[in-house]
Amino acid sequence: MIQHLHTVHTFTATPLGDLLLAATRQGLSGAWFTEGQRGLPDWQSWGAPTHGHPLLGQAAREMAEYFAGQRQHFDVPLDLSGGTAFQQSVWRALLDIAAGDSQSYGQVAARIGHPAAVRAVGTAVGANPISVIVPCHRVLGSTGTLAGYGGGLGRKVALLRREGWQVDAPAGAEPVSTLRPQRVALRR
């Protein structure tokens, strides 16, 4: 069961929509798109947003740098303690998937020592509370196909394209085909 931990929160704009950022004393505990995001907490009950908080400011700056192509890795401290031990192990494994790379759900399951837990890994990936920074968008189906994304498949495609992937889909069609890497020099 996921607990949406926060002591402070704010909003930041991205090219893919506004993000709700939440943090505890330990680190960033949430980054959810405010529209079309599965698992979006009931943030309206959290009170007024916090402005000028150093950790939230760092997260917002790093997110802006990522979307500007100036950052591929995030340094903001994270608090993943809102998930179960299994979910936390999956989320930590996702942090090791570099921009421009991908792994299947089965590969993630094997990396955390539970090779038969592919579906459970998929559930944990889908419950990731820190979009973009904990890069669940880099997890693909076993044959390299697009799989679900809590922020919507269109956002997953946009994030992967931003990281140098080419998505094979007819113009105007819903992206459902395989991905293949496109050799692009990423700025680190």
Cα separation, 57 vs 10, whole angstroms: 9
Q: Is 136 a catalytic residue?
A: yes
Cα separation, 141 vs 120, whole angstroms: 14
Q: How far is CA 36 from the centre of its chain?
A: 14
For residue 137, the 8-state DSSP code is: G
Find the catalytic residue in 59, 60, 108, 136. 136
CA neighbours closer than 13 Å in the CB half-sphere of residue 105: 19
Cα separation, 163 vs 10, whole angstroms: 26
C-alpha torsion angle, residues 21, 23, 27, 29 (rounded to 10): -70
Residue 110 bridge partners (DSSP) = none
- Residues classed as catalytic: 136
